[in-house]
């Protein structure tokens, strides 16, 4: 098993290589730095994978609390539904109104297309204007790899 000190060593090697690259062009570096698209200080993806209406409500409370406490401008939020959790996003879902409110508040809401295929669900069966991702779990892996926090409802 790879241990932590190996990882630290690898990170340090990488940082020093970057530092050296920077040093070689230090004078011009601030001018040359590529424009960086601003990310909010906080980014978080919520996993909803249970057919449990109480968890759906809790998640919708959570995202509101996160916007209220951190400031809506400071946090980017996604709710990613897959497996039995996709039911949260069906048009007839008991929380459909609250999902729409969340989207109006700027929260991204995504259904897993792998799951939809398995459940014979079409886009028109779902809450209007939600987003779709090919695989919910892959979305969550990508987001964490990009540095997002993760909450499993």
Q: Which of residues 65-124 bind a copy of itself (CB under 8 A)?
A: 65-66, 68-70, 75, 83-84, 114
Q: Which stretch binds a copy of itself (CB under 8 A): 28-36, 93-101, 120-128?
A: 28-36
First to last CA, the chain: 30
Give the rounded distance of the alpha carbon of 41 from its chain centre: 13
Question: Is the CB of 18 or the CB of 123 nearer to a copy of itself?
Answer: 18
Nearest-10 crossing angle of helices 96-104, 53-70: 20
**Geometric angle at alpha carbon 72, from 70 and 75, rounded to 5°:** 65
Q: Cα–Cα distance between 36 and 53 in angstroms, integer?
A: 40
Question: Is the CB of 22 or the CB of 106 nearer to a copy of itself?
Answer: 22
Residues near a copy of itself, by CB under 8 A: 1-4, 6-7, 9-10, 12-26, 29-30, 33-37, 39, 41-42, 44, 47, 49, 54, 58, 61-62, 65-66, 68-70, 75, 83-84, 114, 134-135, 137-138, 140-142, 144-147, 149-153
């Amino acid at each position: 098993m790879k241990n932590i000190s190996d990882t630290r060593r690898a990170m340090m090697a990488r940082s020093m290589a970057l530092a050296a690259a920077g040093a070689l062009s230090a004078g011009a570096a601030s001018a040359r730095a590529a424009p960086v698209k601003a990310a909010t200080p906080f980014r978080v993806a919520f996993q909803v994978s249970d057919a449990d209406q109480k968890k759906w409500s809790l998640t919708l409370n959570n995202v509101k609390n996160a916007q209220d406490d951190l400031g809506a401008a400071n946090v980017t939020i996604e709710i990613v539904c897959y497996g039995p959790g996709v039911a949260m996003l069906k048009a007839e879902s008991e929380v459909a109104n609250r999902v729409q409110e969340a989207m109006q508040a700027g929260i991204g809401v995504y259904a897993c297309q792998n799951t939809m295929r398995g459940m014979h669900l079409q886009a028109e069966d779902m809450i209007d204007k939600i987003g779709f991702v090919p695989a919910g779990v892959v979305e969550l892996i990508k987001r964490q790899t990009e540095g997002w926090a993760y909450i499993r409802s």
